[in-house]
Amino acid sequence: MRNINQLHLNDAKKQFGNYIKSRTPVVIKGLFAGSFLEQLTDFNTALDRWSNVQLSVCNEHFYDVQRYEDACTQVYQTVCLGEFFQKIREKAFHPRMLSSARVAPKDIVADLNMEHMALLVDDVAEIRPYFFAGAKGNFAHLHYDGDYKHVLHYQICGRKTFVLIDPTQTRKLLPSRNWSCVSLENFTLSDFHTFLDMVDGWTITLEPGDTIYMPPTFWHYVAYEEDSLSVAFRYGRSKLAGILSTKFHEDVALQRLVYELGGPVDTRSEVLRFFKDLIEIYNRQYQDSLHKFHTIDAKYREIRAYFGIDINSGYFFAPDVIAENTNLRMLRSGYYYSDFDKENVIDASSIPMLG
C-alpha cells in the first residue's frame, strides 16, 4: 500500500508537473484558499447555500456489467440538493442515491472560482466540472474512466477515502470493460489492506478543502466516510486518447495503450503500432456493425495478450455473465459502429504522434 503525498499549494505549483509526468497521484491542500468555496467546508453551510440547486440523481452511482441493460434505462430524478439529503435522512430515498458524474449545475459552477484552477492547469477553458453529492456509507465501485482525462477532484465538504490503482495491475482486478468485479465496498479493513498491498494501490482520506490528482486510466474506488459534496475537474487528453475514447468500444486493452502512451519513449514503438493497427481496422469496410465490433475485439485480444492481461483466466466466467455479454455485444456494436457503412474514417495523418 502506498500513501499519497500531500502538497501545500505553493509547492504544488512548482511540483505538479512532475506528478503528471510520472503519473503519480498527489493531494493538494488549499487549492481554493481565500475563495468563496473555502467557506463551504462545513456541510450545513454548503447545504444552505445550494439547498435549491436542482440535481439529477439516480439509484446507484454506477452500474455493473450484469445490470448494463437496466442502466441504459436508468431513471434519473430531478430533485433539489436540500431535499435530496432530507429524503435520504428520512429513508424516503435509497441510501445509495447519488448525484453522480453529471456536469455541475450552473449555480454551483458560478461559485467555483475557476481561475484558481489556472494555478495547476494550463488551459482552464477545457476543464469540465462534474458535481458529486452522496451520503455517508455510499461508495463508487472500483472502475476507471473511459474518457482518459486528467482529474482534479476537489472535496468541498465531508470526508471521502480514495483508492487508486495503476493499469499495470489490471490483470488482478477481474475487469469487465471499465468495471472491476472486485467489490472493495464489501471488504473488511484487513481485507482492504491486504488487497491494497497485492495491487500496490494508493490510498488517502480527503478532508474538506483537499484536491486529489487522479492520473488518466487509473482505477479508482471511493468510500463516502461522511455526507459529502465534491467537484471533479476533468481536463486534458491527447488527440489519440480522445479518438480511442469516443470511436472505439471500451476495453482494458485501450486503457493500457493510453497508459503506455505516457510511458518511456523506448517502449512506445510497439504501442504506436497497435494504435495504427486499430485505426486501419476501424477504417475497413464491414458487412455490419457486429463484424466491425468482432474484428476490433480480436485486435484487443492480441493487445491484451501482449501485456499479459489474460482475459480467459477468471473473468467472464459465470454463465449468466457470459449470456449477458451476448446481449452486450449486440448493444455495444450497435452503439459504437452502427455507421459502419458511412464515410466514417479516422484520419491517421491528423494525429501528430503517429506521424
Ligand X SMILES: O=C(O)CCC(=O)C(=O)O
Q: How far is the CB of 234 from Fe ion (least distance, A)?
A: 9
Could you list the residues that contact ligand X (CB under 6 A)? Answer: 61, 132, 140, 145, 151, 153, 220, 222, 230, 232
Q: Which does 199 bind (CB under 5 to 8 A by kind): Fe ion, ligand X, none?
A: none
151 binds, among ligand X, Fe ion, none (CB under 5 to 8 A by kind): ligand X
Q: Which CB, 133 or 351, lies closer to ligand X?
A: 133
Is the Cβ of residue 81 or residue 232 nearer to ligand X in the bound state? 232
How many other C-beta atoms lie within 10 A of the C-beta of residue 226? Answer: 14
Residue carrying C-alpha cell 494501490: 201
Q: Which amino acid would we find at residue 143?
A: H
Q: What single DSSP character describes residue 338?
A: T
Please enumerate, as own/partner, the contacts of 332-337 that have beta carbons within 8 Å and a separation of 24 or more.
Answer: 332/249, 332/293, 333/249, 333/289, 333/290, 333/292, 333/293, 333/294, 334/289, 335/249, 336/247, 336/248, 336/249, 336/289, 336/293, 337/249, 337/286, 337/289, 337/292, 337/293
Residues 6+ apart with CB under 8 A from 179: 62, 64, 65, 141, 142, 143
Partner whose footprint covers residue 111, from ligand X, Fe ion, none (CB < 5 to 8 Å by kind): none
Instruction: Work out how close the CB of 45 gets to ligand X at its nearest, in angstroms, rounded to a whole number.
Output: 20
- Work out how close the CB of 148 gets to Fe ion at its nearest, in angstroms, rounded to a whole number: 11
Which of 88, 100, 108, 145 binds Fe ion (CB under 5 A)? It is: 145
Residue 232 binding target from ligand X, Fe ion, none, CB below 5 to 8 Å by type: ligand X
Which of 60/297 has CB closer to ligand X?
60
Q: Are 209 and 41 in contact (CB under 8 A)?
A: yes
Cα–Cα distance for residue pair 36/107, rounded to 1 Å: 13
Output the smallest distance, CB 303 to Fe ion, in A: 23
Compare residues 259 and 282 and give the one whose CB is closer to ligand X: 259
User: Of 47 and 271, which CB lies nearer to ligand X in the complex structure?
Assistant: 47
